[in-house]
């Protein structure tokens, strides 16, 4: 039940700390634009394998423009264009598309593609890869699908390391999912190095700039916040990590998808509210949340900046080159 609206002068004051950066990253911007450009170039419908990004609002908006979302290629008719999601796909997927002569556009985030190329190079050097990530996540499925079965082992936690069937004589390397907790990943890497001193890592960390920056921004707002709201989907890894970061700093934190999920009782006893959005959540959802909270509280809005982002990724040539 919604609380009745009050005159502005009777609404309790609320300090609202909005994290920056927040919301869309360059990889998400690129993936959405790829679907929109594909619709312009090829006409509707355009099929998309898996959610292009993990956000219901974005997916529904693209559906309204003519995108059809499917889980597997066998749901795509032979003469229809298909886009692969930003999370990346196993090598078998484009191979199947080529076998069927499907017109496909790969919207894999370039930072995920970089990890795929690293994996290929390590296997060429006959090194076994320990991949730090979350089982079942599309990015993990896509990355592990770049190499043959048995050439990469998934590590989800520090506890997993004790059970790994390797010795100090094995040629080992590690890579990571791009949307992990910065702090958790550092702990896992330290534990891997302690058990396998010979292990080699990438020259630069695989956790992407956007994930790191959004976690850093939450670390700036959480200590001063009585409650932190994170806008994102339950299947969005980077959004879930933002909730965890806030909670570790002592702030009560909730993951929400839309403003209408917020109940007025959540704000009882809250003088300072932190707000951020995962990398798949558009800014319009942030403003929607601010407007809903303004029904009950007089807001003093402050933006807390942790980093500036100017990253832009190029679109695939097939969508930019003239026919």
Would you please indicate which residues are annotated as catalytic (active-site) residues? 139
CB 94 within 8 A of CB 76: no
DSSP 76: S
| Tokens of residue 226, six digits | 């009585």
Measured distance CA(183)–CA(174) in Å, rounded: 16
Measured distance CA(47)–CA(35) in Å, rounded: 9
Measured distance CA(158)–CA(189) in Å, rounded: 8
CA-based R_g, the chain, Å: 22
Measured distance CA(282)–CA(305) in Å, rounded: 18
Contacts by 152-160, CB closer than 8 A, 24 or more apart = 152/119, 152/128, 153/128, 153/129, 155/130, 155/131, 155/188, 155/192, 156/132, 157/188, 158/187, 158/188, 158/191
Can you tell me whether residue 14 is helix, strand or coil?
Answer: strand
């Amino acid at each position: 039940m919604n609380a009745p609206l009050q005159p502005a002068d009777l609404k309790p004051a609320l300090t609202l700390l909005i994290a920056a950066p927040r919301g869309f990253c360059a990889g998400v911007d690129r993936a959405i634009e790829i679907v929109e450009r594909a619709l312009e170039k090829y006409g509707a419908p355009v099929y998309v394998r898996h959610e292009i990004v993990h956000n219901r609002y974005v997916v529904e908006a693209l559906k309204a423009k003519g995108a059809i979302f499917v889980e597997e290629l066998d749901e795509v008719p032979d003469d229809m264009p298909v886009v692969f999601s930003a999370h990346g796909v196993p090598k078998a997927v484009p191979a199947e598309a080529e076998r069927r002569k499907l017109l496909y556009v790969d919207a894999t985030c370039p930072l995920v593609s970089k990890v795929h190329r690293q994996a290929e190079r390590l296997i060429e050097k006959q090194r076994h890869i320990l991949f730090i990530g979350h089982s079942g996540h599309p990015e993990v499925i896509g990355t592990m699908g770049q190499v043959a079965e048995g050439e990469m082992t998934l590590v989800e936690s520090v506890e997993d390391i004790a059970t790994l069937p390797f010795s100090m004589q094995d040629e080992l390397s590690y890579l990571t999912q791009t949307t992990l907790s910065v702090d958790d990943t550092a702990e896992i890497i330290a534990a891997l190095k302690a058990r396998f001193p010979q292990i080699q890592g990438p020259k630069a960390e695989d956790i992407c700039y956007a994930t790191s920056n959004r976690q850093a921004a939450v670390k700036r707002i959480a200590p001063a916040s009585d409650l932190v709201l994170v806008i994102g989907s339950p299947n969005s890894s980077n959004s879930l990590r933002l909730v965890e970061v806030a909670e570790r700093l002592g702030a009560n934190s909730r993951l929400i998808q839309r403003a209408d999920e917020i109940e007025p009782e959540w704000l009882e006893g809250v003088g300072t509210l932190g707000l951020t959005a995962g990398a798949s959540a558009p800014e319009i959802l942030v403003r929607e949340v601010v407007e809903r909270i303004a029904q009950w509280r007089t807001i003093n809005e402050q933006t807390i900046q942790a980093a500036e982002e100017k990253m832009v990724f190029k679109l695939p040539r097939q969508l930019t080159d003239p026919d």
